[in-house]
Amino acid sequence: MSATTEEIRSRLKLFTGGSGGIDSWLIGDFAEAIFRRIAALPTEPLSCGQMNQLLALSHQAELSEGAFRYYWLSSPRHTYDVTALPCYHPSYATVDRILSLDQLIWGLYRLYHDSLLYYGTIRNGYRIIRTRKYEELEALFNGHRFPGDSMARRGPALALEAINQDDRYLIAEQACKSFEPPEGDSDMLLVLKGAWQEHKLAGGGPTTAKNLLEGAFVSTSFPERQGQFKFSADALLETEIKSEEELIERYESVRFTFTRARKAALHNTEMYLSMANDLDVYVATSMRAREQFRNMARFCDAVFSHSTVEHLKLRYFDPTLSAARGHEDKGLIECLMVKCAKVLIYMAGDRESYGKDAEAAMALSLGKPVIFYCDEENKRRFFTEIHPLSRLIDFKTGVAVGAMATSSLNEVAVLLGRILENKMDYDLEQPRRGYLRLKERLTGSTVRLQTDDELLRETFWNCYNRPSYAP
């Protein structure tokens, strides 16, 4: 039974944005005639030629035979599962024209998804897509696919050196500045000795390293480094100390652990550099306490051993296992890893930092998928609905790119699997005419958008597409 024009109008409302592209073809002077033609489905199948006549009546440019076939008459491999979109049926790939309203809607969903994902607006996408041959479109979108098929076959990377989770805080730059002397005794030992002498002058007796580092000697002589020393000495803070000899003995034990952990971390950085060209995931975080290092290590272990991604043998940069010889090298290494990684995971904490915010911004500006992991629901809502960093612009294309935010570790792993195996699920919504959001279905995060502000939209793309000139 054929649908009425009113039913057709209702079902096609999502695709009538009126922004000047193919989303305007159903709202012009000939809209009623177009709806009547669509209502004649399935008794009168719609060919590419007739589709182009309907587009011409709406002052829209024609589709190539290849584009018509790609979007309405085939279900090729893509960066998402095209068969999971609304209204799909396997029979579409067996016919040579559009036979039903469902088939028309399914192709429009695909065209809208691709336009928003890769071209920023429906008009931009249609302008580029409409002229292509079928083989050109197939190659174009295959070029955007992640190599999930081959990742599982490549096997594991060369092994990293293990570092005990309790000791990983010692690879932090604060610990390096405390334990690595240019020559002679380290700053940490000199400070502890000085604090002990002050303690003796005040009466002596058993005390702890924490009391020594919180005393007047450190707070007066090294106020700007007091936090650094307390962080670096975490393993001995609560240990009771009865003499300077015992203090030095305890210090040397931690110093030995530091030396071993740092050597392993420097080796691991060499391993990360060796796999940079094949890096899958960069984990961005800021760690200011020993427990945060433990939490980060547990998070990485849980996510990358998850059943949804374990078979991919992911190469991921774990910041709790890597160190550099200086903060300049560390910056270069981390920028390289963000550039090379296919996906970035942003580990939100109780306080954010410039470093990981910059890394997330870099990844979004490169058009990479970014997952924000927040352990509190209000944090997730903050990044999803408020934080401006969660949506930036791909500098290469001008496409608005949004991060995916979740409070579920399980969802982080599932998202990684979907991204890298090209199985993403999206929902398309139009809260008001011309304003489109493409949302990642699992988290409800907006990953692409088209504004309905005509002045903003036209100014943005006119300026963004303007040639750049060197000063």
Whole-prediction pTM:
0.91
Q: Are 403 and 448 in contact (CB under 8 A)?
A: no
- Alpha-carbon distance of 255 to 270, in angstroms, equals 23
**Which tokens in the block code for residue 297?**
């290590």
CA atoms within 13 A on the CB side of 430: 20
User: Mean pLDDT across the stretch 395-417?
Assistant: 95
- Alpha-carbon distance of 155 to 367, in angstroms, equals 27
Q: Are 279 and 319 in contact (CB under 8 A)?
A: no
- What local confidence, expressed as pLDDT, does residue 464 receive? 87
Opening angle at CA 138, ends 134 and 139, nearest 5: 120
Q: Is the dihedral of CA 381, 385, 389, 392 positive or negative?
A: positive
Predicted confidence (pLDDT) at residue 178 exceeds the cutoff of 50: yes
| CATH class of the domain whose range is 276-421 | alpha beta
Predicted confidence (pLDDT) at residue 164 exceeds the cutoff of 70: yes
Q: Are 38 and 7 in contact (CB under 8 A)?
A: no
How confident is the prediction for the chain on average, in pLDDT? 91
**Which tokens in the block code for residue 439?**
């949302």
- Alpha-carbon distance of 306 to 325, in angstroms, equals 33
> Which residue, 26, 46, 14, 47, is CA-closest to 113?
14
Q: Are 95 and 73 in contact (CB under 8 A)?
A: yes
pLDDT digits (tens, 9 = 90+) for 37-66: 999 999 999 999 999 999 999 999 999 999
Q: Range with the lowest mean pLDDT among 138-142, 309-313, 378-382?
A: 378-382
pLDDT digits (tens, 9 = 90+) for 216-229: 999 999 999 999 99
Residue-by-residue DSSP string for 128-177: HHTT--HHHHHHHHHTTS--HHHHTTS-PPSPPPP--GGGGGGGSHHHHH
pLDDT digits (tens, 9 = 90+) for 123-133: 999 999 999 99
Q: Which of 200-214, 366-380, 420-434 has the highest mean pLDDT?
A: 420-434
Q: Are strands 207-208 and 281-284 parallel, antiparallel or unpaired?
A: unpaired
Q: Range with the lowest mean pLDDT among 111-120, 136-145, 323-332, 441-450?
A: 323-332
pLDDT digits (tens, 9 = 90+) for 370-392: 999 987 766 666 666 656 567 89
- Alpha-carbon distance of 91 to 77, in angstroms, equals 16
Q: Are 175 and 169 in contact (CB under 8 A)?
A: yes
**Which tokens in the block code for residue 37?**
């033609």
Where exactly does CATH 3.40.50.450 map onto the chain? 276-421
Predicted confidence (pLDDT) at residue 424 exceeds the cutoff of 60: yes
User: Mean pLDDT across the stretch 328-343?
Assistant: 95
- What local confidence, expressed as pLDDT, does residue 4 receive? 84
Predicted confidence (pLDDT) at residue 470 exceeds the cutoff of 50: no
pLDDT digits (tens, 9 = 90+) for 437-465: 999 999 999 999 999 999 999 999 998 87
Give the model's confidence band at 327: pLDDT under 50 very low, under 70 low, under 90 confident, else very high. Answer: confident
pLDDT digits (tens, 9 = 90+) for 244-289: 999 999 999 999 999 999 999 999 999 999 999 999 999 998 888 8
- Alpha-carbon distance of 158 to 455, in angstroms, equals 53
Give me Rg for the CA atoms of the chain.
29
